[in-house]
Chains A and B, each alone.
Chain A
């Protein structure tokens, strides 16, 4: 099975992803229903939020996209992700997804690439932080 090869080095900064978090996308992700903080604006306000919130899970999808771009099949099978959601993401926000390679290690005869990942909103505030990893084939020195 093909796994993305190529030079991956510790300290490498991955290309960022930018995501516009529109209400329609939140609706498609979460499913529209009443009394939902994601899709019912009045209910979200009633619960103390200034606008409907995007699910934290949407940020895991963005990280998954970044990792699949980096490692291909080596993330789809054998990938891991651990995220903490530290700030709400609201409808209308713009998120930028970042990643930096922090470790490359040998594991069961293969290479595991570990990436520190985080999402920032348009104000430069981190909304989610964590790590993701996957299997990779390296051509550069560890």
Chain B
């Protein structure tokens, strides 16, 4: 049973790890994302150089960004930096999971920040995306 704590700078520990739930990539995920970002590339819905439909490369960014929600109650935060390495295409029908680790936390101009590195993998453990992001913690 997970006990959720309110996210604060002091509660967060450098080195702590997060794991998302598994997520099945559905055609509806791809369609919703295409609507949200207004990008309807034909590869998302039909043939592609990868042998079938693929998802937008950034589709799973939020699975990584929400990793801290697997342990903490997060009422607000601001995304400061994002880095992606796109290793393999994301395909409809994959079950994907993201894992992350807090690699730094710091205060700048009085504002608290946390830095997380992550990898998103398919059901076989094949890395699809690696990256790192920095989030400002809004406490209170």
Once the chains bind, are A80 and B36 in contact (CB under 8 Å)? no
A57-B65, A60-B82 known; A77 vs B89 contact (CB < 8 Å): yes
**For the side of the interface on B, what is the size category?**
20 to 34
Contacts of A30 in B (CB 8 A): 62
Pick from B38, B75, B78, B85: contact of A25, CB below 8 A: B38
Complex: A65 Cα to B42 Cα, angstroms: 12
Once the chains bind, are A79 and B57 in contact (CB under 8 Å)? yes
Residue in B32, B38, B78, B81 with the greatest tally of chain A CB atoms within 10 Å: B38
Contacts of B32 in A (CB 8 A): 28
Q: How far is the CB of A55 from chain B (nearest CB, A)?
A: 7
Pick from A2, A65, A77, A85: contact of B86, CB below 8 A: A77
Once the chains bind, are A75 and B86 in contact (CB under 8 Å)? yes
In B95-118, the 8 Å CB interface with A consists of none
Once the chains bind, are A83 and B82 in contact (CB under 8 Å)? yes
A28-B35, A72-B49 known; A61 vs B58 contact (CB < 8 Å): yes
Once the chains bind, are A29 and B37 in contact (CB under 8 Å)? yes
Q: Count A-B pairs with CB separation below 8 Å.
A: 109
Once the chains bind, are B54 and A76 in contact (CB under 8 Å)? yes
A28-B35, A77-B86, A81-B83 known; A35 vs B56 contact (CB < 8 Å): no
A68 on the interface (CB 8 Å rule)? Answer: yes
Once the chains bind, are B80 and A85 in contact (CB under 8 Å)? yes
Once the chains bind, are B36 and A2 in contact (CB under 8 Å)? no
B45 on the interface (CB 8 Å rule)? Answer: no
Contacts of A56 in B (CB 8 A): 78-80, 82
Contacts of A64 in B (CB 8 A): 39, 56-58
Once the chains bind, are B56 and A58 in contact (CB under 8 Å)? no
B88 on the interface (CB 8 Å rule)? Answer: yes
Where the two chains meet, the residues of A that have a C-beta atom closer than 8 Å to any C-beta of B are: 1-2, 19-20, 25-26, 28-30, 35, 37, 43, 47, 55-58, 60-62, 64-65, 68, 72-73, 75-85
**Could you list 13 A-B pairs, sorted by A, with CB under 8 Å?**
A1-B50, A2-B49, A19-B38, A60-B82, A64-B57, A65-B41, A77-B86, A81-B82, A81-B84, A81-B86, A82-B81, A82-B82, A84-B81
